[in-house]
């Protein structure tokens, strides 16, 4: 019985240690770090105490062993993790600019990370499932990835679970037009939408955030959360619009903030908290995530988030 299941890329990330070290010049790298938005999400959810499962693929190589060991060590169920013969583990090189932009080089589409196969999973795998969380990046993994996402969505909905969707637009992986098309069927049925504000505008073509959120809600009773980095988030439903300011922290590595935020938001919803408490809790999770180097190293526990919130309340 999984609280959250996610499908998609597990990869290792190799990053520039300092800002403004472009990827088209020789220089230092740091890593490998276990990464990939879905894998970060799965670990973040498990650290929060959610029963978390991951479906993906890794190669029979050192990077694949690193990922498998990491997911297992973090208590993520890996029954759906395939060790793919003849393919190398997915890989991303990342550089950061001083003004906060990121540059990626991905080796993913032809890697083991794209060779996802869900046909061998037993039907019992999905029984009692509460959420399938998908990252739009998984839809850039080619036919196998897309088919795995479609099937797991069908099986999740059939088992009474709901879809949570983070568009995670990555133009390096999939051009915007293609992403819009690929995401269409998922945007239509998701109970929870978790884009950044910029992604919400890009997906809908709306000029401002409120209009983008309203288009995303599409008249349905569901929740759209627009993430805004250090500024926090805004939560939209048919009835309400709630802005929750972010927390001030020293940002060391922004990667993974969104995934930790997503996992914390789901924990809050599963716990039946009101949206204000959920948004504040998720903001704290995202803030803590950026204070550590490495994509999933900063994923906090509930105790860490509560201590952080108590401290913030005293200031």
32: preceding bond cis by omega (within 30 degrees): yes
Closest alpha carbon to 136 in 91, 223, 199, 51: 199
**135 touching Mg ion, by CB under 5 A:** no
Catalytic status, residue 143: no
Q: Tell whether residue 228 is a contact of ligand ATP (CB under 6 A).
A: yes
Q: Which of 152, 168, 234, 283 binds Mg ion (CB under 5 A)?
A: 168
Determine if 51 is a binding residue for ligand ATP (CB under 6 A): no
Q: Does 36 bind ligand ATP (CB under 6 A)?
A: no
Instruction: Mark the segment that binds Mg ion (CB under 5 A) among 3-11, 39-47, 143-151, 167-175.
Output: 167-175
Binding mask 60-99 for ligand ATP (x = CB under 6 A): ----------------------------------------
Contact 264, 305 (CB under 8 A): yes
Q: Does 196 bind ligand ATP (CB under 6 A)?
A: yes
Helix (H) / strand (E) element for 267: namely helix 257-270
The answer to whether 56 contacts Mg ion (rule: CB under 5 A) is no
Interacting residues of 29 by C-beta distance below 8 A, sequence separation 6+: 14, 15, 16, 17, 93
Residues 248-287 that bind ligand ATP (CB under 6 A): 249, 251, 254-259, 261, 283, 286-287
Cβ partners under 8 Å of residue 182, min gap 6 = 136, 139, 140, 146, 174
Give 122 or 313: the residue with its C-beta nearer to ligand ATP: 313
Nearer to ligand ATP, 54 or 155 (CB): 54
The reply to whether 134 sits near ligand ATP by the rule CB under 6 A is no
Contact segment (CB under 6 A) with ligand ATP among 60-68, 118-126, 244-252, 269-277 equals 244-252
Number of residues that bind ligand ATP (CB under 6 A): 23
* x-or-dash string of contact with ligand ATP, 146-185, rule CB under 6 A: ----------------------x-----------------
DSSP state of 88: P
Please report how close the Cβ of residue 55 comes to ligand ATP at its closest, in angstroms. 20
Q: Count other C-beta atoms under 10 Å from residue 124's C-beta.
A: 9
Number of other residues whose CB lies within 10 A of the CB of residue 254: 17
State the DSSP code for 140.
G
How far is Cα 223 from Cα 237, in angstroms, rounded to an integer? 5
**SS3 call for 80:** strand
Kindly tell me which residue out of 87, 162, 227, 280 binds ligand ATP, with binding defined by CB under 6 A.
227
- Per partner kind, with CB cut-offs from 5 to 8 A, the member of Mg ion, ligand ATP, none near residue 61 is none
Of 3, 119, 259, 274, which one is the catalytic site residue? 259
CB of 222 vs Mg ion, minimal distance in Å: 19
Q: Secondary structure of 178-230 in the HEC alphabet?
A: HHHHHHHHHHHHCCEECCEHHHHHHHHCCCCHHHHHHHHHCCCCCEEEEECHH
For the beta carbon of residue 268, count every other beta carbon within 10 angstroms.
Answer: 21
Determine, following the binding rule CB under 5 A, whether residue 167 of this chain makes contact with Mg ion: no
E-strand stretches of the chain: 4-7, 11-15, 30-35, 52-59, 77-84, 90-96, 102-107, 131-135, 162-166, 192-193, 223-227, 233-236, 241-244
Q: Which positions lie near Mg ion, rule CB under 5 A?
A: 168, 258
Catalytic residues, which ones? 259
Q: Which positions lie near ligand ATP, rule CB under 6 A?
A: 168, 196, 227-230, 232-233, 246-247, 249, 251, 254-259, 261, 283, 286-287, 290
């Amino acid at each position: 019985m999984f609280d959250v299941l996610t499908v998609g890329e597990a990869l290792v990330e190799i990053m520039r240690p300092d800002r403004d070290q472009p990827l088209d010049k020789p220089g230092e790298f740091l890593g490998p770090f276990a990464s990939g938005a879905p894998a970060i999400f799965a670990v973040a959810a498990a650290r929060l105490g959610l029963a978390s499962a991951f479906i993906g693929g890794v190669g029979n190589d050192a990077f694949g062993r690193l990922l498998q060991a990491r997911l297992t060590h973090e208590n993520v169920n890996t029954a759906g993790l395939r060790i793919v013969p003849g393919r190398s583990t997915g890989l991303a090189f990342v550089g950061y600019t001083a003004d906060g932009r990121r540059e990626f080089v991905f080796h993913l589409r032809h890697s083991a990370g794209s060779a996802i196969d869900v046909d061998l999973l037993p039907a019992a795998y999905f029984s009692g499932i509460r959420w399938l969380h998908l990252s739009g990046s998984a839809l850039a993994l080619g036919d196998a990835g897309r088919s795995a996402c479609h099937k797991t969505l069908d099986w999740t909905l059939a088992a009474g679970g709901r879809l949570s969707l983070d568009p995670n637009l990555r133009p390096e992986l999939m051009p915007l037009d293609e992403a819009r098309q690929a995401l269409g069927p998922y945007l239509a049925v998701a109970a929870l939408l978790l884009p950044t504000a910029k992604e919400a505008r890009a997906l809908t073509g709306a000029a401002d955030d409120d209009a983008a959120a309203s288009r995303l809600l599409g008249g349905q009773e569901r929740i759209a959360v627009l993430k805004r980095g250090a500024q926090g988030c805004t939560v939209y439903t048919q009835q309400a619009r709630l802005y929750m300011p972010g927390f001030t922290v020293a940002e060391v590595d922004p990667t993974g903030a969104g995934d930790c935020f997503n996992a914390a938001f789901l924990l809050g919803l599963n716990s039946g908290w009101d949206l204000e408490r959920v948004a504040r809790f998720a903001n704290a999770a995202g803030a803590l995530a950026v204070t550590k180097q490495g994509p999933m190293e900063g994923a906090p526990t509930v105790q860490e988030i509560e201590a952080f919130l108590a401290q913030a309340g005293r200031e």
